[in-house]
Amino acid sequence: EIVLTQSPGTLSLSPGERATLSCRASQNVYSSYLAWYQQKPGQAPRLLIYGASSRATGIPDRFSGSGSGTDFTLTISRLEPEDFVVYYCQQFGSSPWTFGQGTKVEIK
Amino acid sequence: QVQLQESGPGLVKPSETLSLTCTVSGGSISHYYWSWIRQPPGKGLEWIGDIYDSGSPKYNPSLKSRVTMSVDTSKNQFSLRLSFVTAADTAVYFCARDRLAYQAGDFDLWGRGTLVTVSS
């Protein structure tokens, strides 16, 4: 099973700042098989990024993804108030599909 | 617009079987993989397994001995059964659809989730 480790666990920033979230895999993940989700309290996750770097439909361009192999990054260029929630990475290159433990972005 | 809706009991007794159904509306269940994902209160996400419209489920090995998934194309529904539940199975259970037809993996469509509590 591929273990995904997200860091930091909590990121404290101010609106307008840049957020950089990390996802490290225990084994190589083919880039096409790495996704990022945003989850607001009481809601289902929402797909932000697929294929490591492609934005899903309707996702603002302040969200971007990068990386390959075992190291992937989600960047939010300028934090908006609604971005202060939890983010998960997910791999589906090797079954079982697995998620990272999440990074919470909180207001500083 | 395709929508997913989970349904089933919100309370299950220990050692009994959890049964949930996901109804697909606004579109066909065909040609996609359909997954169940759960999230214990305050914790992260765990993929339980998926199933294609023709059957052939794939399960997470951590739950494989207790999980059964099925699909009913005539009703546009797919289902989850988890046997011998314990308190550790208390979670919000989501059904979800894979982003691309014919390909399992990432999820672009989710149900709202249903909380299942295991307690006597």
Q: Residue B101 pLDDT > 90, yes or no?
A: no
pLDDT digits (tens, 9 = 90+) for B14-59: 999 999 999 999 999 999 999 999 999 999 999 999 999 877 899 9
E strand map for chain A = 4-7, 10-13, 19-29, 34-39, 46-50, 54-55, 63-76, 86-91, 98-99, 103-107
Phi-psi region of A16 (alpha: psi -120 to 50; beta: other; left: phi over 0): left
pLDDT digits (tens, 9 = 90+) for A16-30: 999 999 999 999 998
Contact B44 A97 (CB under 8 A): no
- List CB contacts (< 8 A) between B51 and chain A: none
- List CB contacts (< 8 A) between B42 and chain A: none
The predicted pLDDT at position B103 comes to: 80
**Distance (Å, rounded) from C-alpha B21 to C-alpha A91?**
25
pLDDT digits (tens, 9 = 90+) for A27-76: 999 878 999 999 999 999 999 999 999 999 999 999 999 999 999 999 99
